[in-house]
Amino acid sequence: MGVEYRQTPDILSAEDPEQRRARLEEHRARLREAFGPFRHTCQVATVHALSAEARRACDRVFAASKTVYMALGDIAEGVTDASAFHSALDVYWNAVDELGEAVRLEEP
pLDDT tens for 83-96 read 999 999 999 999 99
* Spatial CA neighbour of 68 closest among 106, 95, 99: 95
pLDDT category of residue 7 using cuts at 50, 70 and 90:
very high
State pTM to two decimals. Answer: 0.87
- Report d(CA 104, CA 107) in Å as an integer: 8
Percentage of the chain modeled with pLDDT above 70: 99
